[in-house]
Structure 1
Amino acid sequence: MVLLTLLVLFSPLAIDIYLPALPQISTAFDVEHALAQDTITLFLFAMGIGQLFAGPLADKVGRRAVALGGITIYSVSALLAWSAQNIEWMLAARLLQGLGACATSVAAFATVRDIFGPEKSGKMISYLNGAICFIPALAPILGSWLTQQFGWRSNFSFMAIFAVVVFVLMVVGMKETNPQSNNEPVFRLNRYLDVLKSPSFVFHASLCMLAMAVILAYVTSAPVVLMEKLGLDMNEFTKWFGINAAINIIACMTAPKFMDKYGTHKTLLVGITTLLMAGCIMLLLPQQSPIAFMLPIFTSSIGFAWILGAAAGKALAPFGDKAGTAAALLGLFQMSGAGLVVGLVQRIGLEPQVMIAIQMLIVFPALFILLSKSGRRWHLAMS
């Protein structure tokens, strides 16, 4: 679990550590804030698309090889971002870094499915997500210090150093868990279609996508709202971000306990209801102070944590021999899908708070699906 935790940290580290430096990056390259924010959305888009290749590759050549390859790509692209001389160079480096991060993520979640099976994987994914949530708490603090002491580029040199250290640990400690390498071609459309034919997978992967869209909308908008509009400095921004991450950690750790006692169905119902409450609070509170913006974010973080573990576990549950492919498609929904949803809503040109509230409220139809006969049946076998 320690090695798996390190593998899933690559993605949040690549997003959260340099958030306090986003205004400096836009100033350094003399571009609008939207282009600096695109370094996050393009990273997530590449991470989602890349999983379509990393997943089947993990089923073919093994989880370990894909993990080590992903770490290598991640470290090289971090150095490219560190040396970027213009925004185009930076965006290209971030696209490449997304491909590296997707490989480590697929390898981690497919390994969870290999080791813990269909029944326990949802609970273990919740614990992994809890570990992931430490990064939003700690990375912006580190990133703020690095940026103030050494400039914004030091965030990317730290990512490269982290990748080298983890690479060595993986070479020494990670064993292959893929039960058997299959003899099929690495990329075969039918493998994806077999997964997508499952209504349960499509529904629960879509839930993960919509929950992730809320977090992505918050992450890309928070520096503008808190630092530009409300006038917070880098340290104050980091404090609010860290409080939210702490709440997310607690939620990720309590979700498995609730799941054990009441099942995945009730866990999802509570998570979705909490997310809807957050959307209503965001719309009703006058947005004139940091707490007015962050209170609904705190609430949504609880809903996000409870949805993600239960929904991801249920999405992967039926696919033992195709765990890598299923994890890849789940990642595509969760990363590229969330990026697409947020990108489309952002194009409407609404205030950030309204845009985030819409992301929270569009999950509403999922309640009716969960309460239908089919929705209940998906959760009967392994509630």
Structure 2
Amino acid sequence: MNTPQLDNPSRLQLALLTMLVLFSPLAIDIYLPALPQMAETFHVEPTQVKDTITWFLFAMGVGQLFAGPLADKHGRRTVALVGISIYGLSACLAWAAQTIEWMLIARLLQGLGACATSVAAFATVRDLFGPQKSGKMISYLNGAICFIPALAPIFGSWLTQQFGWRSNFSFMAIFAFVVGIILFFNHKETNPTQAPQAFFKLSRYAQVLKNPMFLFHASLCMFAMAVILAYVTSAPGVLMERYGLSMDEFTFWFGINAVFNIIACMTAPKCMERLGTRMTIIIGVVLFNLAGLIMLVLESQQTAFAFMLPIFISSIGFAWVLGAAAGKALAPFGDKAGTAAALLGLFQMSGAGLVVGLTQRLHLSPEMLITLLLWVTAPSLIVLCSKVGHKWHEIRV
């Protein structure tokens, strides 16, 4: 595809791509310190406020099944602008919500908006850099995402203390407005052609879902994401409500965990190069199960460190499992790579949100809930050490 942007993407274009992928983590992490205040405002149980995160992720996962084909048919720029508009308007709706029901509807819509911006960003990367060079840029964008869990809660804590919890959604709306204006005036379409074929073909999705290699690795990604989601939704209640930490102390622990995650994301590619994807996943799963054991052993300590230590370990396992398993889930597919990527996103976002949303109804302690999700990955070791597991990871693409 020959477009003026392909040969020399500008710094502004690269900055725009980075901002587009930040919509999703920003919408999750910035208001975490405010969850207890939101529960008080709406007079609901903490579990119902946590649903604002799971509903967001569910919508973001399901939306990928549609945003990807729409970006191919109507263009990346159009989908990005529509997504930003939905995101900003739904942030305003969340700001004005007077009941938890309206807040959940707002978050559902915001998940759809964030999904569109993310899909448009990664599709644009492929347009600009081509199939051979896009991997490095995608890694850069994923690295940028990792910094949000470290910075957004700190900023969100300050906003909440100074202006109340609704100010977090005001900031999301302002962010959407600014990025939308910049994108509208400074970003041209990178895929102007419209292919004539049908985009929503259920048979393409069915062919991907029939592949056991995809199902196994996508399920691993789902449970790995569920662990992180369970931690994110449980941490405010455990650290601030149970242990009495201030918002600043909460963001301190949250930031430390983000540092562990960033380091793990940087070391995962090296590990895959030296040990291979199968061994990288095995190490990640072993770290998950070790973290679960430590979580149970230290539960009686009732301290922030006792809660966070296994989280640090699981964050390393998360980065190693997610990176290697996602790649192997997509490995068997050529012309269906986009369809497979959309389904993988559905597993990671909607699947993880559904798993956590259901297990939270079991009324387990946060430590037991996280341990359960960590240990669910244990049977995967049997598959990875079998002949089938070896065969899957001998495939070169």
TM-score by length of 1: 0.92
Partner of 1:292: 306
Alignment of 1:172-251 (within 5 A): 174=187, 181-251=194-264
**Alignment deviations for residues 201-226 of structure 1 (CA, whole Å, 9 cap, x no partner):** 22221111010000010011111111
Identity %, equivalent residues: 72
Q: How does 1:245-284 map to 2 (within 5 A)?
A: 245-284=258-297
1:343 to 335, 350, 357: 357
CA, structure 1 residues 108+379, in 2 after alignment: closer, same or farther (shift >3 Å)?
farther
Indicate conservation of the 8 Å contact 1:20/1:237, yes or no. yes
2: CA distance, partners of 1:301 / 1:281: 14
Aligned counterparts of 2:193 and 2:212: Cα–Cα separation in 1: 27
Partners of 1:141 and 1:113 in 2: how far apart?
A: 33
Task: Give 1:111 shift.
Answer: 4.6
Deviation for aligned residue 1:320? 4.5
Runs of 5+ in structure 1 lacking a partner? none
Q: Which runs of 5+ in 2 are unaligned?
A: 1-13
| CA distance in 1 between partners of 2:204 and 2:124 (Å) | 18
CA drift at 1:110? 4.2
Aligned residue number for residue 322 of structure 1: 336
Larger Cα Rg: Structure 1 or Structure 2?
A: 2
Report the counterpart of residue 377 of structure 2 in structure 1. 363
1:375 aligns with 2:389: yes
Structure possessing the higher relative contact order (Cα contacts under 8 Å, 6 or more residues apart): 1
Deviation at 1:356, TM superposition (A): 0.4
Which of 161, 165, 175 in structure 2 is aligned with 1:152?
165
Report deviation, 1:72.
1.6
CA deviation profile, 1:159-218 (whole Å, cap 9, x unmatched)? 111122222443456565559643222322112112223222222211110100000100
Deviation at 1:83, TM superposition (A): 1.5
Residue of structure 2 in register with 1:50 after alignment: 63
TM-align CA RMSD: 2.3
Structure 1 residues 42-74: Cα deviation after superposition (integer angstroms, max 9, x where no partner): 111111122221122233333333222212211
Taking structure 2 as the reference length, the TM-score comes to 0.89
CA contact (8 A) 1:113 1:320 kept: no
CA change 1:223–1:102 in 2 (3 A) is same
Q: Which moved more, 1:162-171 or 1:290-299?
A: 162-171
CA drift of 1:39 comes to 1.0
Report what 1:13 is aligned to: 26
Contact kept, 8 Å, 1:47 with 1:102, in 2: the verdict is yes
**Farther-moved stretch of structure 1 (49-58 vs 270-279):** 49-58
Aligned residue-pair number: 383
In the alignment, which residue of structure 2 is the partner of 1:313?
327
Q: Which amino acid aligns with 1:103?
A: A
